[in-house]
Amino acid sequence: MATFLYKLGRLSFRRRHFVALIWVALLTLAGVGAASAPAAGNSSFSIPGTEAQKAFDLLEQRFPGVSADGATARVVFKAPSGEKMTDPGNKAAVRETVKELGDGSEVARVTDPYQAKAVSKDGTIAYAQVSYKVSGMELEDSSRDALQDSAQDARKAGLTVEIGGDALQTVPHTGSSEIIGIVVAAVVLVITFGSLVAAGLPLLTALIGVGIGVSAITALASALDLGSTTSTLAMMIGLAVGIDYALFIVSRYRAELAEGRDREEAAGRATGTAGSAVVFAGLTVVIALVGLSVVNIPMLTKMGVAAAGTVAIAVLIALTMIPALLGYAGRRVKPMGEKGKRLGQASKKPERPNLGTRWASFVVRRPIAVLLLGVIGLGAAAVPASSLELGLPDDGSQPTSTTQRRAYDLLSEGFGPGFNGPLMVVVDAKDSDDPKAAFTAVGDGIKGLEDVVTVTPPAPNKAGDTATITVIPGSQPSSVTTENLVHGIRDAGTDIKADTDANVLVTGSTAMNIDVSEKLNDALIPYLVLVVGLAFLLLIVVFRSILVPLKAALGFLLSVMAALGAVVAVFQWGWLSGLMGVEQTGPVMSMMPIFMVGVVFGLAMDYEVFLVTRMREAYVHGEKAGQAIVTGFRHGARVVTAAAVIMMAVFAGFIGSSESMVKMIGFGLAIAVFFDAFIVRMAIVPAVLALLGRKAWWLPKWLDRALPNVDVEGEGLRPDSDRGDTDRELVRA
């Protein structure tokens, strides 16, 4: 591989005009496609195989025209202090609002609070429910504007009016903090390279790669039902890895120049060596992201595949456009150490070992102490993960400044906490001899369960073979008690089916959230086995070792558990929540653990590949195991540190997003990169390698013969005489 990439790097350097033209053309094509494509909203949400989804599908068949997945809104009214919603003036204002709400072309129906008995017992709070013919993704802005305007008219009459429901879902924004992350990355690059030109290359190529990836996602969003969150996450990951991959190749290019090679040869060797690490690091990220498809949640699969595509583009750009831009830059990109020579410092005093060399030497001397300190520290950070509670966000997790959250609180105040999470029970009595008796039996059975406040009478369809029953729990939607009630209804349905041949299904947003959480929990272990297993095999090929990949996987588990602990502490317990802009604590989103496992594993392997391949290169070239660790840090620690800081800055920039999922993922990935890069890869990894010594690079002879030789360390680029010397040194060792 190193030889092929070496030739590719030299070709890109020589044919830089052609390479640059190709990437600019691709960026233009993707941009035109994005500009001409129809706007995409929030993607549809379906969970194949879950009971809640089966019930939704059944409703579509048996209740045609009802739009079971249509958007809904609850317009909540509260009377002024000392008044009731039943007072004539307030009643007239509400009915006028209901009339206005029903005028929209996308509105299916509006319930009158007084006819539907949707007035609280104390008479101070009432609500009107608006059902739409289309989903929240398809709802036009004019319908949302009409909804908010009608509420404003009621406020003028003296009522407190708030709106909840998915009809007000909007495209999330990330805010200016995203730009701050890029600025921080630019500053780190300037400090690392000491040159504006060299620092600008990784930023330029990363922005081009992300531009192509995100534009392609935008162009295909409507056709493939890709939500706005998909492009946001692709941008987040694409920026981070795009900058890092380019950083490693530019850094290696400067090192090759410092050894006296001409610029074309240096570009080829940088692409052949650092580029090989980029390929395998990118492969681990792609495997982790594409592997999210095993969960069988379409939205998660699309997010993973889209982000993986952006990573693949970042790899291709790093391997081709970076050598091309280095050709354009010419002498403006200086050899490593050139800065000190220009300042006249190199000739006055001997070169002092850099910080990476000094740190690695310390770890090699004190491996047990460093290992224990790192493991204990990460273990302490992981403790909050034992209290992890999973759920999906609803209006109760919105900031208190939003009308959705205020509507949620008003409904809880007037009708109880469970009113915000009603359960819809669907009774399929098509195979029953007496459907009406089956409907009654289901309703009576549910009334006898704990935590049930209200059970509405069965509402059958025209054919009389299917009915819906609404159940209001006594607890809030995200509580364990409500989850137990859902399982209780399903268990009772098993007995009812035996007696009446009627199927009982529980659905609704609350039941769907519960099913999603359970599906994600069930998929976590298979996903871990698949992703870690494939990456483990890949790393065996890269490092030609058993223990090094094993150590990499165990270190990843430490860092991801510590990161999950930090997420729980901030978003569930509320530690430093004000600093992070978290206005409402609550359960961690169900897909957070499995998404973090996928992304963090891929990124963790990035640093493993970049840092340890330098050690492997030194070891293969004849250095002893302990000295190879120091050599790897001397060449790679500064660059890996800069890469980690850049990645943290980019991810942290998304903490300013208005979307709670993006905010949580941004924080989780930023803290995970910190734990993995600075504690696992910089401390635990060299400590373990120092303790293992030569055994770290052991590989059974039969496996060594069976594995393909991918030559990540660039041995094939060395002269034959040098390779022979190295082989003799390894035999003597």
3-class SS string, 355-411: HHHHHHHHHHHCHHHHHHHHHHHHHHHHHHHHHCCEECCCHHHCCCCCHHHHHHHHH
pLDDT over 80 (residue 230): no
The residue among 715 and 482 whose pLDDT is bigger is 482
Of the candidates 591, 564, 569, 587, the residue with the CA atom closest to the CA atom of residue 579 = 569
pLDDT over 90 (residue 40): no
Q: Give the pLDDT band (50/70/90) at residue 714.
A: low
pLDDT over 80 (residue 429): yes
Determine the average pLDDT of the residues in 277-289. Answer: 85
Of the candidates 102, 132, 134, 133, the residue with the CA atom closest to the CA atom of residue 115 = 102
pLDDT tens column, 454-509: 888 888 888 888 998 889 898 888 788 888 899 999 988 888 888 888 899 998 88
Res 238: pLDDT: 85
Least confident interval from 208-222, 227-241, 708-722: 708-722
Res 183: pLDDT: 82
Q: Give the pLDDT band (50/70/90) at residue 688.
A: very high
Res 138: pLDDT: 67
The residue among 484 and 192 whose pLDDT is bigger is 484
pLDDT over 50 (residue 26): yes
Tokens of residue 622, six digits: 């004849």
Of the candidates 77, 64, 25, the residue with the CA atom closest to the CA atom of residue 403 = 77
pLDDT over 90 (residue 619): no
Q: Give the pLDDT band (50/70/90) at residue 235.
A: confident
Res 371: pLDDT: 94
d(Cα 239, Cα 237) in Å, to the nearest integer? Answer: 6
pLDDT over 60 (residue 347): no
Res 221: pLDDT: 74
Res 687: pLDDT: 94
pLDDT over 60 (residue 345): no
**Which of the given ranges, 55-64, 85-94, 527-536, 570-579, has the highest pLDDT on average?**
85-94
Please classify residue 687 by burial: count the beta carbons closer than 10 Å to its beta carbon, then call 0-12 exposed, 13-18 middle and 19+ buried. buried
Least confident interval from 182-186, 361-365, 554-558: 182-186
Q: Report yes or no: 601 and 288 within 8 Å, Cβ to Cβ.
A: yes
pLDDT over 80 (residue 711): no
d(Cα 311, Cα 282) in Å, to the nearest integer? Answer: 7
Res 65: pLDDT: 63
pLDDT over 50 (residue 692): yes
Q: Give 248-309 as a 3 state SS string.
A: HHHHHHHHHHHCCCCHHHHHHHHHHHHHHHHHHHHHHHHHHHHHHHHHCCHHHHHHHHHHHH
pLDDT tens column, 81-107: 889 998 999 899 988 888 888 887 788
d(Cα 99, Cα 86) in Å, to the nearest integer? Answer: 17
Res 18: pLDDT: 94
pLDDT over 70 (residue 172): no
pLDDT tens column, 499-545: 888 899 998 888 888 888 888 888 888 888 887 888 788 888 888 88
What H or E segment, with its residue span, contains residue 190? helix 177-193
Res 25: pLDDT: 94
